[in-house]
Each structure stands twice: as C-alpha cells, then as structure tokens.
Amino acid sequence: MFAIIETGGKQFRVKEGQQIKVAKLADEAGSEIVLDKILAAGGQSEVKFGQPYVDGAKVVCDVLSHERDKKVIVFKKKRRKGYSKKQGHRQDFTRLRVKSIEA
C-alpha cells in the first residue's frame, strides 16, 4: 500500500514503515500525527485519486525527531567590483515514520 501526501508545500510518495524528512512541524518528538492531505492512495490492484484530496484517507505517522539539515553555502560575487558575500544556511526539518495508511 502506498500514498502520495502533501505537507509543507511538497509531495511525498510513502509506504508503511518508511522514514521521511518533511518541513518542520510543531508536534513534539515521540507523538503521533495524522496527515489528511492525501492526493492518491492504493495498492497493486486499485489506486484512488483525489480531486484534490482523497475523501476519508489518512496517513498516521510517528514524529521521531526535529533536526537541522546540512549547511548550504550561498556565495555571491560581482567580478571586477571587489564584491563578494558568503553566507551559510541550515534548514530545520522533522523526521517522520509512517505507521499506517488508511484509504
């Protein structure tokens, strides 16, 4: 069974037992969260597509941890002008484990 979920402005294809990294959520680590924005869900024989979301479908996930991603370097330079700027950025994210998919 799989589902295509939407969270944090992005879409993810998930299966039961899979771990995913999503944009930071406000829920506590160790708690359970229910995602109800399901774009498509199904198995090998039948797939349901929503318009835009599948009615009555939900994905139950465990919140494992809140972490920070690798550093991304933002470097700007204008040639022959003596201008250069270096800046780093680390994005916050939440790690989820998919417990069950109900469609």
pTM: 0.85
> What integer pLDDT is reported at residue 25 of this predicted model?
96
pLDDT tens across the length of the chain (103 residues): 999 999 999 999 999 999 999 999 999 999 999 999 999 999 888 999 999 999 999 999 999 999 999 999 999 999 999 999 999 999 999 999 999 999 8
Sheet holding 19-23, edge to edge: 19-23, 92-102, 58-68, 32-35
Tokens 């349901």 belong to which residue? 48
pLDDT of residue 35: 96
* pLDDT in the model for residue 84: 98
